[in-house]
Amino acid sequence: MSAIALERHPVEPASHTFASPDPALAEPDLGIPGGTDPVRVETVRTFDDLAVHRPAWDRLAAQAPQQIPMLMPVWVEAYLRHAVPAAAIWLCIFAYRGADLVGVLPVVAEPHPVLGRRRPLLRTLRVGDFSPSGDILLTEDDAGAVLRALLAEADRAVPGHLGLALQAVHEGSPLWPALRDGVAGYTVHSHARHRYSFVDTSGSVDDYMNGLGNMRRNLKRCRKKLDGHGVVTVAVGRAGAEDPAHLDAFLALEAAGWKGRNGTAILNRPDIVAFYRTLARDFAAAGWWDWQQVRVDGRLVAAGMGIRCGRTVMLPKIAFDEGFSACMPGNLLTEAVVRAAFADPETDALAHMSDAPWHESWRMGQHRYDDVHLVRRTLAATVFQRSRVAGLAFYKTEIAPRIPERVKRFRETLRQRHVRRAKAATPDT
């Protein structure tokens, strides 16, 4: 299923709580009606042991309705290597029905801010510089039974945990119907978080471009202006994607602009540089990484990245040379990427996994992503975690949107400085 079809799927209200069955009344059910194969689980705690699961993992991610690369093994492994302190506990739980992989739950265990390591908190990928989503993989058929099997194994692997946090879950994720089925032993809380932009490229490119109004006329004018600076070449695709020189050029271009001046360019953070080097190398090796470039007389004036998952291409980063800003090189690159996607029969959507003001000029649609908190039905979790979750929801929906951007950047810098110190204090695994 393409990401576009998900736009029509019903979702829950902006803030909702699913009541889980009383664990005393619930019976274990890891199979599906009709008595087919039960769900079995395997827990992996080392990178070497992830390898055996990668082919099935890639296939499941490509077929998932979310169509986002954060569900793929390359992204998850890069996140665990570069975004998680070496001293932290992580594990990846795989659910199989027979020979078929039906669910993947990557988990990071962190000390509770009050109760410490004896009562840890579990989370998937945290939303931030290393990931825009912490959604998980579940098959659409009988997602509830698969989720229950994954959670039961998480409870066995990390006993005493107070709950599990999943940030920015796609509106079409199979997690939602799984939660509506109920998860014994947990109360489930969610609240609105993000809206991420996308372009449906399954239709007619002419219809899409004709709907852009003034933007289409501006693109023609700016292309003529850029042609006046020299020979313009545009490249969009996977050819040569494995060459690390492309990433080096992108990083230099981004750092030369406003992000570099603000301290938010990738080059300002060695850990994020290492993360993107891993992503680019491993996705390119699999044939799923695109480079998008506009050059004038060989000089790079705009560049972007593309990562394929199923029939969707995610566009994580774009940069342009501010010396050519009057020519709108970023928008000219976007036009080239859009036209290439419409022309590609294997692509149904471009997903930005962000929400920037300039997206409005391109008439982009949006998918909704909500945060989910599963809180254990225990006394400790009720006292120390449920109220904390309610406070987090209030902060994220009412306070965080009003915090100035410069304050958010400073806070993130301090947090990542702490993570880097923790990684430096422990040898890499």
What pLDDT digit, counting tens, does each position of 64-82 carry? 999 999 999 999 999 999 9
Cβ pair 103, 137 in contact under 8 A: yes
Residue 416: per-residue pLDDT: 53
Same domain, 137 and 265: no
**Alpha-carbon distances, residue 380 vs 110, 146, 328, 385, 387 (angstroms):** 16, 26, 55, 8, 11
Same domain, 125 and 39: yes
* Amino acid at site 89: I
**How many other C-beta atoms lie within 10 A of the C-beta of residue 207?**
9
Residue 360 lies in a domain: no
Residues 6+ apart with CB under 8 A from 24: none
Same domain, 164 and 261: no
Exposure string over 68-96, b if 16+ CB within 10 A, otherwise e: bbbbbbbbbbbbbbbbbbeebbbbbbbbb
Residue 419 lies in a domain: yes
Which residue in the block uniquely carries the two structure tokens 């693109």?
A: 219
Enclosing domain of residue 211: 203-347
From 317, 347, 377, give the residue that closes a domain: 347
From 282, 315, 347, give the residue that closes a domain: 347
* 205 φ, ψ (degrees, to nearest 5): -65, -35
Residues 6+ apart with CB under 8 A from 334: 304, 318, 362
Residue 416 lies in a domain: yes
d(CA 253, CA 64): 34
Same domain, 219 and 132: no
Structure tokens given for 306: 């593309």
What pLDDT digit, counting tens, does each position of 14-23 carry? 333 444 444 3
d(CA 345, CA 14): 35
Same domain, 27 and 86: yes
- The per-residue DSSP string of 355-387 comes to --GGGGGGT-EEEEEEEEEEEESSHHHIIIIIH
Residue 48 lies in a domain: yes
What pLDDT digit, counting tens, does each position of 269-307 carry? 999 999 999 999 999 999 999 999 999 999 999 999 999
Residue 356 lies in a domain: no
d(CA 355, CA 345): 26
Same domain, 295 and 394: no
Residue 294: per-residue pLDDT: 98
**How many other C-beta atoms lie within 10 A of the C-beta of residue 343?**
11
Task: Give me the percent of the chain exceeding a pLDDT of 90.
Answer: 70
Same domain, 187 and 223: no
Residue 358 lies in a domain: no
pLDDT band at 407 (very low <50, low <70, confident <90, very high): confident
Exposure string over 378-415, b if 16+ CB within 10 A, otherwise e: beebeebbbebbeebbeeeeeeeeeeeeeeeeeeeeee
Same domain, 49 and 157: yes
pLDDT band at 262 (very low <50, low <70, confident <90, very high): confident
CA of residue 158 relative to chain centroid, distance:
24
Residue 10: per-residue pLDDT: 35
What pLDDT digit, counting tens, does each position of 205-253 carry? 999 999 999 999 999 999 999 999 999 999 999 989 999 999 999 999 9
Same domain, 184 and 296: no
Cβ pair 90, 44 in contact under 8 A: no
From 316, 347, 378, give the residue that closes a domain: 347
Average pLDDT of the chain to the nearest whole number? 86
What pLDDT digit, counting tens, does each position of 145-181 carry? 999 999 999 999 999 999 999 999 999 999 999 999 8
Whether the predicted pLDDT of 87 surpasses 80: no
Cβ pair 169, 133 in contact under 8 A: yes
Residue 355 lies in a domain: no
Cβ pair 330, 345 in contact under 8 A: no
Exposure string over 235-269, b if 16+ CB within 10 A, otherwise e: bbeeeebeeeebbebbbebbbbbebbeeebbbbeb
Element spanning 183, H or E: none
* Predicted TM-score (pTM) of this structure: 0.85
Same domain, 220 and 127: no
What pLDDT digit, counting tens, does each position of 94-142 carry? 999 999 999 999 999 998 888 878 889 999 999 999 999 999 999 999 9
CATH number at residue 176: 3.40.630.30
Mean pLDDT score, 181-185: 87
**How many other C-beta atoms lie within 10 A of the C-beta of residue 34?**
5
Residues 6+ apart with CB under 8 A from 17: 187, 188, 189, 190
DSSP 8-state symbol, 398: I
d(CA 38, CA 43): 17
Residue 353 lies in a domain: no
Q: Is 238 helix (H, G, I), strand (E, B) or coil?
A: coil
Number of domains in the chain: 2
Same domain, 277 and 418: no
Same domain, 118 and 90: yes
Distance between start and end Cα atoms, the chain: 37
pLDDT band at 388 (very low <50, low <70, confident <90, very high): confident
